């Protein structure tokens, strides 16, 4: 996500505090039956406050020269902390659905001596770099080199 200015960040923080005052049990009853965490709370704020938060591109596009990882690319590349191996996807995530539909994949490209992840559009074979990886796996030593 992208928050464009200080005022918007203040509004976001106030919205987060308002949700916290409701309490976890009531938030879970009203919004989700899953574990409540900051990402789910940000999604609630995003849904209820159009225009406050802008989303960064998670797939290749003509506007940005980068793809940003909100979690699913990192889970696909490195698995999760819940014993899901590399290649993990879920149709509960937009990225997971697109990977499962064979619309996108990850290609590693060597640049300046480093292997870097790129998203490849399987239809037109265009690629764009992933700007960040949201690694869920706790097997971090594999990323050290």
The per-residue pLDDT for range 66-95, each reduced to its tens digit, is 999 988 998 998 888 777 778 888 898 899
Burial of 23: CB neighbours in 10 Å, binned 0-12, 13-18, 19+: exposed
Question: What would the pLDDT profile of 109-141 be if each residue is shown by its tens digit?
Answer: 998 988 899 999 999 999 999 999 888 777 777
pLDDT for res 135: 81
Whether the pLDDT of residue 145 is over 60: the answer is: no
Segments in the chain forming alpha helices (H): 6-22, 24-31, 38-48, 72-78, 94-100
pLDDT for res 97: 96
How is the chain split into domains, by residue range? 6-48, 72-143
Q: In this structure, how many other beta carbons lie within 10 angstroms of the beta carbon of residue 110?
A: 8
Whether the pLDDT of residue 29 is over 70: the answer is: yes
Q: What is the mean pLDDT of residues 22-39?
A: 86
């Amino acid at each position: 996500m992208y928050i464009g200015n200080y005022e918007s960040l203040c509004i976001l923080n106030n919205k987060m505090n308002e949700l916290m005052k409701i309490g976890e049990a009531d938030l879970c009853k009203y919004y989700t039956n899953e574990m409540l965490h900051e990402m789910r709370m940000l999604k609630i704020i995003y849904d209820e406050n159009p225009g406050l938060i802008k989303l960064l591109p998670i797939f290749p596009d003509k506007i940005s020269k980068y793809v940003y990882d909100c979690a699913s690319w990192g889970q696909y590349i490195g698995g999760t902390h819940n014993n899901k191996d590399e290649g993990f996807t879920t149709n509960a995530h937009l990225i997971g659905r697109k990977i499962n539909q064979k619309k996108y994949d990850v290609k590693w490209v060597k640049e300046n001596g480093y292997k870097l992840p790129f998203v490849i559009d399987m239809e037109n074979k265009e690629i764009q770099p992933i700007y960040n990886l949201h690694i869920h796996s706790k097997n971090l030593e594999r990323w050290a080199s």
